[in-house]
Amino acid sequence: MAPQDKSRKPAVAARLLNWYDAHHRELPWRTGPAALSKGERPDPYRVWLSEIMLQQTTVEAVKSYFTAFVRRWPSVSALAAAANDDIMKAWAGLGYYSRARNLKACADLVAAQGGIFPDTEEGLLALPGIGPYTAAAIASIAFARPAAVVDGNVERVVSRLFRIETPLPQAKTEIRALVQQMVPSGRPGDFAQATMDLGATICTPRRPKCMFCPLRADCDALAAGDPELYPVRLAKPEKPRRRGAAFVAIREDGAVLLRKRPEKGLLGGMTEVPTTGWTARLDGETSPDAAPFPSPWKRAGQITHVFTHFTLELDIYRASFGGRAPQGHFWSPPDDLHGEALPTVMKKAIDAAIPGATKRRKP
Ligand code: SF4
């Protein structure tokens, strides 16, 4: 189908919705088509929370966090009343920690408005942590607004459906315009979720299951013979590398010395073991001499962690340390480590020095 062939787009949307009615994913935050047809409405709090958690994070990773959050904080007002540290601890391991800080700021604002979320993209965009994609998703799913919701899955489906030759990210505007033309006014939220589900389960990045696709008769990339060529992407430059060292100090009873990172910046407000700065230089930053306090440091390996903008290599050192916690630090007993607000990179660092330490749960 040529992109300008608007006349067939409603038929494409209808086929997609029929498929969604039968094959949608059951997700803990989702109000499925059967419930909607009985008059149930999506809870904007659950839609918002899930969309924030799903930013740059997989559905599988989000499921258990979402369930734990809504069990503990069942409404936006309950979340607003929570302590920052408790939210950071509950978020630990999900990554992109500025989301957790914005989550609390947003909950505070919405709770102050009586717990009512704005029901338009514009209103949602004014809230902390909500960008154009998230505003469109919430407006569409929670409030049935005819917004164009375009995530990576949708980009892939639409690029293939219309065989878009413009490479991403330049193609985003074109894709968004095509999606906007297809959004059915009656079921915009289901259409958004149907396109995402098709991309996640059928129109996958590798080996799309075109045999089972409800849009196979409409798909230009399939007709041309090689859907995997789409979406076209410009080659990504390699991420820069930074290096540093992390120091795991262990008390006689197994407690680990921790400190809180500054509120602003990367991993702001999260908990860490003492580390050097993370630098692109190859000088002495990664030696034990750079430790914030002297101890008989022994090398315990190296870990690599990939952030959005750089890859970090941390040399890990461990030492027994018997003294009082230095100023700004605290001891976390072995049974408490699992519940600390440790980002994944710090869990890796501690587990490199003490295998399995962050996975141990309170008996
Ligand atoms: S036919 Fe294949 S490539 Fe085209 S939309 Fe369906 S799964 Fe994707």
In short, whether 231's Cβ falls inside 6 Å of ligand 1 is no
- The predicted model gives 281-306 an average pLDDT of 80
Closest ligand 1 atom number to CA of residue 210:
2
Kindly report the pTM of this predicted structure: 0.78
Residue that finishes a domain, picked among 163, 195, 229 = 229
Which residue, of 208, 229, 250, is where some domain finishes? Answer: 229
Residue 236: pLDDT band by 50, 70, 90 thresholds? confident
- Collapsing DSSP to helix, strand or coil, 227 comes out as helix
pLDDT band at residue 171 using 50, 70 and 90 as cut-offs: very high
CATH at residue 345? 3.90.79.10
Asked if 95 and 25 sit in the same domain, the reply is yes
Domain membership flag for residue 106: yes
Least confident of 3-12, 99-108, 136-145: 3-12
Assign 8 a pLDDT band (cuts: 50, 70, 90).
low
Domain co-membership, 295 together with 153: no
Query: Does a structural domain hold residue 234?
Result: no
222 & 249 share domain: no
Looking at the fold, whether 11 and 158 belong to one and the same domain comes out as yes
Residues 46, 135 within the same domain: yes
Q: Are residues 86 and 150 in the same domain?
A: yes
Domain match, 13 and 127 both: yes
Q: How does DSSP classify residue 55?
A: T
| Domains of the chain: total | 2
Rounded CA separation 123/117 (Å): 8
Packed helices 172-182 and 9-23: angle between N→C axes, nearest 10 degrees = 80
Residues 203 and 148 in one domain: yes
- The CA distances from residue 347 to 125, 164, 353, in Å, are 34, 42, 10
Q: Is 202 in the pocket of ligand 1 (CB under 6 A)?
A: yes
Residues assigned a catalytic role: 51
Residues 55 and 173 in one domain: yes
User: What burial class does residue 337 get, using C-beta atoms within 10 Å of its C-beta: 0-12 exposed, 13-18 middle, 19+ buried?
Assistant: buried
Task: Judge if the beta carbon of residue 213 lies within 6 A of ligand 1.
Answer: yes
Closest ligand 1 atom to the C-alpha of 212? 7
Looking at residue 21, its pLDDT comes to 95
Q: Are residues 190 and 247 in the same domain?
A: no
Q: Which domain holds residue 285?
A: 241-359
266 and 216 fall within a common domain: no
**CA 296/CA 292 separation, integer angstroms:** 13
- Tell me: do 181 and 215 sit in the same domain: yes
Residue 200 lies in a domain: yes
Q: Can you give the pLDDT at residue 278?
A: 84
Residues 256/338, Cβ–Cβ less than 8 Å: no
CATH number at residue 81: 1.10.340.30
In a domain, 23, yes or no: yes
Query: Does 208 reside within a domain?
Result: yes
